[in-house]
Structure 1
Amino acid sequence: MVNVRLRSLRTPLLCLSGCLFIFLLVRLIGTPKNLPRLSLLYEKAIVHHGNLQEPATDEVATSMDKDDLETLLRGNENEDWAQGNECPPYPRYENIHFPNPYYQLIQSGNLSYYLYGAYYDRRPRIAEVMVLGMVTTCTGPYPETYLQVWYDGDTKAEIVPMHQTKLGWYKEWGNYVDVAYPTLLTFQMKSKKIPRLVSLVFGNPCALPQNALQVQVQPPPEYEEAPPNPNRRPRIGVCVKYLNFPDIDMSERFVEWLELMRLLGASKVTAYDIGKLMPNTSRTLAHYTRPEDGLLDLRKFQFPEETKTYERFRSVIIEVLLYNDCLYRSLYDFDFIAVLDVDEVIMPLGQLRNWQDLLGELQSRDVNCTARSSYCFRNVYYPKELPEDGSIPKPFYMLRHVVRVADHLNPALAIKCLHDIGHVTVLHNHFALQWMDSCAPFDVHSDLAQMQHYRHVDDLKTLKEPPPVRDDNIRRLQQQLIHNSMQVHRQLGWGAAY
């Protein structure tokens, strides 16, 4: 009788034990986070707000790896060639002044040099090393300057005089005392060997170096060996300035924009993180920096803080430094680069669906020039003040905003370009400042492509006169753009598919 009653209670007891076990487990490890809401499976538009978990790692590539540099310099301290009295002396880590982790500061007279990077450039007839930094003058004069060059396997450095100073700015745009301006110092190499380490000195070529820059860009072994392939589709990269969105979650906008860059033909986007992103935005961008994706190279960065004045002006000119860093890091990875903001798109029109097709068409028409430095596209605004299409899910800002102002801006205003990386040497936000062995930049007519700018207009009258027009050329990419973006939404745990 007792056995029968116990058997009748076995199922309720097992259920009670299971519930008790789950309760204790939850108390021990906490409530699972980011569980999907079942109601989202039936929602057409994705809604996600609040702070999601941080990226698994907050370590991203930096523009100057102090740890690697310290390891290199300290590792050579006990070598005979580093301890002797030879000219020049080997740089010592203790002699380097880092105003922040991304710059090395040296001074000559009343000029301050905030050195950012060094790059090897094999494009000119005589190979060059380019030292990029911010210098507190845009008019000169510059002091007598030398580069102490160290090669792997050598016990003595080579001395190279400065060949040329290239300024990434026009003084007519603004010239203020104590402000540092983007400057490129070029040095012609005496051999075909690629330097490992360089130091900048003034006046005396044997001076004790107070800086040491590792040469960042080295051509791959096959760079000169592989014959050019005329049938290869051009490789295209995108350069973006520092990301400054401390008060708005840009996650949805970034996904749509990055996936559109991929569809248009970009194989990598380089941007700079100054620590002013919301946690969910950082988590979203971390998705694109993963090795499995690799579309985004997000590099940490800080301003040099050479002065506390002219903050707005300095925020503009610092972009030029970053665009040129991006250019010289890309010398052997791409054929063209586009300099864009995250609210801008160079959009091919008509039957042209990507940048590779667009470049092919432009080059076939460009019969008067065998090498073109840049192809530049006219700006037209798609402002949020104009009606948006509510039939498109809210996560897709550009797809919803297909009404633009009637007229493109003048070709001299706010253009953006596809730059031939074989020819441009100094970049500005909107165009190349200098180029070599090529024709001047080409103004592309707006029947082939346009630069779509998703921001407010400068002239409020253009919101009404001439009457705005519907220009939904982006909808040619709508199906694939939504599909690809929603895959990312699901991977980030934002909800159901569209």
Structure 2
Amino acid sequence: MFKYLTKSEIPPVTGGSSNAMVFKLCRSFRTPLVCFLSGFCLFLFTRLGQPNSGPLPAAKRFHPRGQVTDVEDLEVLDYHGDKEQDIQDFLKANEDPFWVKREECAPYPLFENINFRHPHFQETRGGNLTYYIYGAYYDRRPRIPEIVVLAMISTVTGPYPTTYCQMWFEGESQAEISELHDTKLGWYREWGNREYLAYPTLLTFQVNSRRIPQLVAIVFDDRCNVAQNAVKVVQPPTSQDEERMRSDGKLRTGICVKYLSFPDEDISPRIVEWMEMMKILGAVRVTAYDIGGLHANTSRTLAKYTNDGYLDYRPYQLLNVRKEDELLGMRLNEVLLYNDCLYRNMYDFDYIAVMDVDEVPMPLGNCTNWPDLLRELVTRDVNCSSRSSYCFNNVYYPKELPADPKIPQDFPMLSHLTRVAKHLDPWLAAKCLHNTGSVTLLHNHFPLAWYDACAPDSVPLELGQLQHYRTVEDKNTLKEPPPQRDDNIRRFSHQLIRNSRKVHRQLGW
């Protein structure tokens, strides 16, 4: 801070003193300097105190505590970091101490040996097959714990070469090696088969100890081969974290969404209404995948939920999608992502739902949320001690039918209260709540594999239905049988509108 001298403190000025001349010159500018600083502070105060006059531009995002920050602070695409850089830093940090005493069998992986032709996959060859390795997870549900490696593999029929998993534990240079225990293919050949595509596959390897590996790699034919891949294992929560999560005794449900692709349409109102509806029904968190191609306002809305911690929005680029088989290629990527979501979150939730943002597994009757519905279903399920999945029958709420004019049109679900007369047949376009204690392989409509549990069962229509808000394929259902009003969602209208409007204000709408 400046200290202004009193007249008595001013040193005497001698004609030959340059210091005295400088002092007199500075003193002469004191008043203009004070005026300038005061004016500048007043300018900053008035500028920063102005209220927002409208929505923020796309280059801004909202922080959950209310202050506005630049997009660089909250950039969704970089939320989880780059996989290649992440594994490079990890391997480089361990390279020197581990390679000083290089093992003759299964030496520690070198980053230079890994093939990153794709931002999210490591490519390696086994026999005449190409493996695109995506992730690795520790599964302690079986009697003998397993490492699950999730990959896309260039066969839908097999056979697979002899395969080993090299596992490295913290502070150790010698790998534990386990031969392939099981292969689960997340696709049926009858659904589509092209030689040049890769198919979602789970490779499981048993862990011989109760320790959790930090890093794994798969090799072929010879267990001692130098690895051409290396994947960090998604670590389960600690027992203290799990106890804290479950301290309230409530069933916890998470949601898996494949990806969103709406480059020309702003679906922000739909996203807000759907997210707030999921919260009301009891979803603890939503996991979705960002492949780009979104309207700027939609990205801004998703960033809000990401920064609130409610949305885990993970960057992803599609693999092996060609124009001639675009739909098939995208379906294969979907199955991969559903299973990444399952294994990434299986310790956080009791049940996981796989759905799109135009779907709501709606509890009916006296149940108003998923935990209450699940307790009712388990109570009724007297012939089964553990059920793998509870699946909802699909019924369409068509966009072609007029919306209720009394409901604000930025609530597309709440304003569409008329559905087609008939539900689809059970298991046709159904969506399920999956038991994370038993399900081991997911498809978007039902589980493909489970253990120590009964087969999936349908939710009775008096207890729940899948409300699907979209256009219908069979236009005849818009007239015959006559559509009927089913406004059960209005039970939540007050809370849904109130919560959504709060988000609208945060986003500057």
Alignment TM class, shorter chain as reference: 0.7 to 0.9
Structure 1 residue 418 and structure 2 residue 436: aligned?
Answer: no
Q: Of the candidates 240, 265, 276, which is equivalent to residue 259 of structure 1?
A: 276
Q: Of the candidates 374, 385, 390, which is equivalent to residue 370 of structure 1?
A: 385
Q: Of the candidates 32, 35, 53, which is equivalent to residue 59 of structure 2?
A: 53
Deviation at 1:421, TM superposition (A): 0.4
**Contact 2:98–2:108, Cα closer than 8 Å, also in 1:** no
Deviation at 1:34, TM superposition (A): 4.9
Deviation at 1:62, TM superposition (A): 4.0
Aligned to 1:8: none
Instruction: Specify the code of the residue in structure 1 equivalent to 2:196.
Output: D
Aligned to 1:90: 108
Tell me the distance in 2 between the aligned counterparts of 1:211 and 1:364. 47
User: Over residues 126-156 of structure 1, what are the superposed CA-to-partner deviations in whole Å (9 max), with x where a residue is unaligned?
Assistant: 0000000111111100111000100002221
**Contact 2:365–2:463, Cα closer than 8 Å, also in 1:** yes
Aligned to 2:239: 221
Tell me the distance in 1 between the aligned counterparts of 2:138 and 2:369. 31
Aligned to 2:253: 236
| Aligned-residue identity in percent | 56
Larger radius of gyration: 2
**Contact 1:63–1:102, Cα closer than 8 Å, also in 2:** no
Q: Of the candidates 101, 126, 138, which is equivalent to residue 144 of structure 2?
A: 126
Tell me the distance in 2 between the aligned counterparts of 1:184 and 1:123. 16
Deviation at 1:25, TM superposition (A): 6.5
Aligned to 2:468: 453
Deviation at 1:276, TM superposition (A): 1.3
1:41-120 matches, within 5 Å, as 52-55=58-61, 56=71, 57-59=74-76, 60-62=78-80, 65-81=83-99, 84-120=102-138
Deviation at 1:85, TM superposition (A): 4.1
Tell me the distance in 1 between the aligned counterparts of 2:294 and 2:385. 44
Aligned to 1:211: 229
Aligned to 1:140: 158
Could you tell me which runs of 5 or more consecutive residues in structure 2 were left unpaired when the two chains were aligned: 1-38, 62-70
Aligned to 1:336: 351
Deviation at 1:81, TM superposition (A): 4.4
Q: Secondary structure at the match of 2:293?
A: strand
| TM score, norm. by length of structure 2 | 0.85
Tell me the distance in 1 between the aligned counterparts of 2:236 and 2:324. 37
Deviation at 1:120, TM superposition (A): 0.2
Aligned to 2:340: 325
Tell me the distance in 2 between the aligned counterparts of 1:352 and 1:82. 62
User: Over residues 145-179 of structure 1, what are the superposed CA-to-partner deviations in whole Å (9 max), with x where a residue is unaligned?
Assistant: 00010000222111110000001111111111111
Could you tell me which runs of 5 or more consecutive residues in structure 1 were left unpaired when the two chains were aligned: 1-20, 37-47
Aligned to 1:6: none
**Contact 2:245–2:348, Cα closer than 8 Å, also in 1:** no
1:175-190 matches, within 5 Å, as 175-190=193-208
Instruction: Specify the code of the residue in structure 2 equivalent to 1:439.
Output: C
Larger displacement relative to structure 2 (81-90 or 268-277): 81-90
Aligned to 2:177: 159
Aligned to 2:168: 150
C-alpha change, 1:225 and 1:256, in structure 2 (3 Å) is closer
Q: Secondary structure at the match of 1:397?
A: coil
| TM score, norm. by length of structure 1 | 0.87
Tell me the distance in 2 between the aligned counterparts of 1:383 and 1:252. 18
Tell me the distance in 1 between the aligned counterparts of 2:186 and 2:138. 18
Deviation at 1:439, TM superposition (A): 0.3
Deviation at 1:52, TM superposition (A): 3.5
Aligned to 1:197: 215
C-alpha change, 1:150 and 1:466, in structure 2 (3 Å) is same
RMSD after superposition: 2.5
Tell me the distance in 2 between the aligned counterparts of 1:189 and 1:363. 33
Deviation at 1:311, TM superposition (A): 1.2
Count of aligned pairs:
457
Tell me the distance in 2 between the aligned counterparts of 1:112 and 1:63. 26
Instruction: Specify the code of the residue in structure 1 equivalent to 2:287.
Output: T
Tell me the distance in 2 between the aligned counterparts of 1:225 and 1:260. 27
Deviation at 1:352, TM superposition (A): 0.8
**Contact 1:91–1:212, Cα closer than 8 Å, also in 2:** yes
**Contact 1:64–1:116, Cα closer than 8 Å, also in 2:** no
Tell me the distance in 2 between the aligned counterparts of 1:319 and 1:276. 16
1:475-494 matches, within 5 Å, as 475-494=490-509
Instruction: Specify the code of the residue in structure 1 equivalent to 2:335.
Output: V
1:263-342 matches, within 5 Å, as 263-290=280-307, 293-305=308-320, 309-342=324-357
**Contact 2:322–2:329, Cα closer than 8 Å, also in 1:** no
Tell me the distance in 2 between the aligned counterparts of 1:435 and 1:122. 14
Tell me the distance in 2 between the aligned counterparts of 1:83 and 1:381. 63
C-alpha change, 1:421 and 1:482, in structure 2 (3 Å) is same
Aligned to 2:404: 389
C-alpha change, 1:33 and 1:104, in structure 2 (3 Å) is farther
Deviation at 1:82, TM superposition (A): 5.5
Tell me the distance in 1 between the aligned counterparts of 2:431 and 2:458. 10
C-alpha change, 1:76 and 1:267, in structure 2 (3 Å) is same
Q: Secondary structure at the match of 2:96?
A: coil
**Contact 1:81–1:156, Cα closer than 8 Å, also in 2:** no
